[in-house]
Amino acid sequence: MINGKVLEQMKAENAMVRIAAAEALKDIYVRAGEEWLNFLPESVPVIAELMEDEDEGVETAAHLLVVGIEKHLGEGELQAMLT
């Protein structure tokens, strides 16, 4: 499934690949909306890792991903799952 493939890329060694994957997943959530929330449980651990990434650009991309998902989930809901 595409979600799993994107999550794999979010674990790549190259920071630019991790950023691109986070942006891709954000775009998927924005376009698919609530239908894509079914994939959230498998995404949360990977997103949590990105939120603490050593690369500032990756952290920023992860934050924007969280904001995009929370538009469908509810503000603060995903952030609470990540902590």
Q: What is the dihedral of CA 64, 39, 5, 55, to 10 degrees?
A: 30
Amino acid at 27: D
Predicted TM-score of the model (pTM): 0.87
| Rounded Cα gap, residues 60 and 37, in angstroms | 21
What pLDDT does residue 83 have?
A: 67
Would you write out the chain's pLDDT as a tens digit for each of its 83 residues?
A: 788 999 999 999 999 999 999 999 999 988 887 787 788 889 999 999 999 999 999 999 999 999 988 887 777 767 777 76
Is domain 2-82 given the CATH code 1.25.10.10 in the classification? yes
CA–CA dist 75, 54 (Å, integer): 25
pLDDT of residue 29: 85
Termini Cα distance of the chain: 27
Residue with tokens 């190259």: 14
